[in-house]
Structure 1
């Protein structure tokens, strides 16, 4: 048995070695440069920029997701869609008088404008003065622009690219800015997709109607978005943030579908486009210490990333840069001294613990709910822990369910806030190698901005 196990583990090495030697000529003779060079690097001038941000997506999330999507019948882990395009890392700290670990607003403003700032800042510097963003540069250059997010679109990350405010908490003011702030008499953002109907359909000001009056389509469901082909669109699919991917119904688009819809619209502009896509709720899952939700959101973000890469491979003049603003939750693969992290229990979940906790808080039976939405055989102790929590607040029920998945998988958490480690940078397309190595996040922002002005990624 031991011999067979060794043979199984060594066999792929022999196969890979043979393919590496025999396949060299195939790789060098292919007609598609992107096939020979997974990074798609060239010195071609850049026409379009797609900037994807996995909010809270520290390296522990990408590592855990690799384990999560791995096939148990193979001896090694399979790569995720991100892995072939890993080119560097970036530092994430903010310039805040009291906090050295960044929040999403400071990090997004830095990546949008190439300027370090304080936590909570939306498109302003440490003096609270407005700073020009990559999206605004793109619009000035005659490009079309888009922001896609699974949070509400006036949340920290998208807001930092498209608006200006001294505080990320001024949600109504930020929503107003999307309509009020103009460049050459035109609205700055052509495609705005995510959550946020509560902020755009207000009694004091109906921004959704105002955008429609100015020629935008307004869509609030997946089918409406997919059937509409207007080049300018406001799409809002939830009152605030959208549901986690695993909890969404068929009326709600995925991040991949929103990204595809945005690309279809923006690519009609002959002068090119800038698109920022945020996988917002990787971060929200980290704040909640919810590993089930985290893996669900990683899958949603990966599919959007694949959509962007596929577009860039076909176009040849599109730069794709993907990174995170920070990490969240201090997630660990392994806990309590156990040398094990097992994603299989996470795959058994059909809904997030939040979803199940809400159902139980509304009167559903705890055991029936767990059995309905999780393909696991629960112990009496696990069921009792949820039933006892059901006497309290929804958050207590949520915590009890999350603990089951943490203990079963071996997932640990050190905080419900952000953490300050460096994060990965992924790149594809012309001049993407400029992002290789370690960069501060303001340097990444400056290179994105310079690319939109000149078609070149070099630092100024």
Structure 2
């Protein structure tokens, strides 16, 4: 049915949402109301790098142009407030994912790079660890490697997010506190010096290394699932573009028990797309996240004793929906892109291609000028590589060999940005506040202007821990 949806305006960070948007909604509208009871299940969703521009862009990306309305998304249905993201004073105003995740997991401000330790590098309790102590099952589902900053900050402690092997080791050495781990990371769990997978199997875990095996998991038995060398393939390149929602569905089923569960879900690669200033990949990752949240809507409807909270640790890339002083954004082209720009660049870098061949690879028609620009980028890449190869060994040791594929990657992204009129201000994080979404039991306590540490404190309170 048609209804009027007015985006909640809380600060200037959400000015993109200030206009009243009329929507055509076929969404679930009968999510059970909050009760005063503590949720049995808590699902914390972190969309790494997802500032408000990403959810705004996704709304327009999904808009049905055949209607007079701009349809609402699952994000619009559950927007409650905003969260500040700054780290501890010594790291300034801009957080990294480790400090941001520690704020969300432990309710403290710490320095950038810290994994659930305070500014003195002392371990701090996390909501996942506390939930485990309360007898709940716990799980982690991510599209990065499972020992990346965000999942690590819920599971373990380390003074530096860069200590990937030590973090992976600690998942076992510090006492297993997770009943389910799904994501990437073969590189860190199957090493010459230690085979953590074998040790997990010895600890009575079932191990799987492909998506198909998820449907064959033995119930009630803990599981480690690693599906890639490092992070999972980008959504545009993966065999299942909705792999986060698929893994989340499996996790909620596998963790269900009488005492309830705590589940961390991270849409890790929204951040990676932002760092790469890659709008095509960003919208594909957002679509996977949206499918995950739509599934969780249904889960809450069928399991009203569940709380779902979604927020971001920070925003990445300084995404702008419209650029260059033009009052226009044209996301329709993004639906035609079936592979990530990085993968497309590899195909384009192989040999000289005609205008028609380039159009076939990209899956949209390019102009003669655009084809020439792509070819020029390739020639520049070859030229820079040749200059490098003519240098002395000493000079070469001071730099990396230029990559033709990287030149093509940048050129493809420039072309897509130009066609869509997408803008970026940074290749890193920005300090703007990020949105908070929640549904299910006790969801309304997450409304208003909060700090990221407030989210953890509220979860601790729901889990019975006094701060």
Task: Identify whether the pair has TM-score above 0.5, normalized to the shorter chain.
Answer: yes
In structure 1, the residue matched to 2:409 is 398
Q: Distance in 2 between matches of 1:77 and 1:218?
A: 44
In structure 2, the residue matched to 1:350 is 338
Return closer, same or farther for 1:16/1:239 CA change in 2, 3 Å cut-off: closer
Secondary structure of 1:395 counterpart: helix
Q: Distance in 1 between matches of 2:281 and 2:456?
A: 29
In structure 2, the residue matched to 1:150 is 143
Q: Between 257-266 and 307-316, report the one with greater CA deviation.
A: 307-316
1:286 aligns with 2:279: no
1:205 aligns with 2:216: no
Q: How does 1:366-445 map to 2 (within 5 A)?
A: 370-391=358-379, 392=381, 393=403, 394-445=405-456
CA contact (8 A) 1:138 1:453 kept: no
Deviation at 1:367, TM superposition (A): 5.2
1:73 aligns with 2:61: no
In structure 1, the residue matched to 2:24 is none
Secondary structure of 1:390 counterpart: helix
1:214 aligns with 2:211: no
CA contact (8 A) 2:91 2:111 kept: no
Cα deviation, 1:7-42, whole Å, max 9, x if unaligned, reads xxxxx9xx759xxxxxxxxxxxxxxxx966557322
Gap runs ≥5 in structure 1: 1-11, 18-33
Q: Distance in 1 between matches of 2:452 and 2:3?
A: 37
Q: Distance in 1 between matches of 2:367 and 2:206?
A: 51
CA contact (8 A) 1:282 1:297 kept: yes
Secondary structure of 1:109 counterpart: helix
Output the aligned Cα RMSD: 1.9
1:450 aligns with 2:461: yes
Deviation at 1:307, TM superposition (A): 1.9
Q: Distance in 2 between matches of 1:369 and 1:452?
A: 58
Secondary structure of 2:93 counterpart: coil
Deviation at 1:358, TM superposition (A): 2.4
CA contact (8 A) 1:124 1:130 kept: yes
Q: How does 1:32-431 map to 2 (within 5 A)?
A: 38=31, 40-182=33-175, 187-230=176-219, 231-249=221-239, 254-267=243-256, 269-362=257-350, 365=353, 370-391=358-379, 392=381, 393=403, 394-431=405-442
Corresponding residue pairs, total: 421
Return closer, same or farther for 1:126/1:369 CA change in 2, 3 Å cut-off: farther
Deviation at 1:81, TM superposition (A): 1.1
Return closer, same or farther for 1:156/1:73 CA change in 2, 3 Å cut-off: same
Return closer, same or farther for 1:129/1:390 CA change in 2, 3 Å cut-off: same
Deviation at 1:74, TM superposition (A): 1.0
CA contact (8 A) 2:28 2:297 kept: no
Secondary structure of 1:453 counterpart: coil
Return closer, same or farther for 1:35/1:415 CA change in 2, 3 Å cut-off: closer
Deviation at 1:373, TM superposition (A): 4.0
CA contact (8 A) 1:350 1:373 kept: no
Deviation at 1:75, TM superposition (A): 1.3
Deviation at 1:163, TM superposition (A): 1.1
Q: Distance in 2 between matches of 1:110 and 1:294?
A: 24
In structure 1, the residue matched to 2:7 is none
Return closer, same or farther for 1:150/1:364 CA change in 2, 3 Å cut-off: farther
Return closer, same or farther for 1:397/1:131 CA change in 2, 3 Å cut-off: same
Deviation at 1:369, TM superposition (A): 6.2
Secondary structure of 2:307 counterpart: strand
Q: Distance in 2 between matches of 1:141 and 1:362?
A: 56
Deviation at 1:98, TM superposition (A): 4.1
Secondary structure of 2:113 counterpart: coil
CA contact (8 A) 1:427 1:435 kept: yes
CA contact (8 A) 1:49 1:452 kept: no
Deviation at 1:363, TM superposition (A): 5.1
Q: Distance in 2 between matches of 1:87 and 1:331?
A: 22
CA contact (8 A) 1:39 1:84 kept: no
Deviation at 1:141, TM superposition (A): 0.5
Secondary structure of 2:90 counterpart: coil
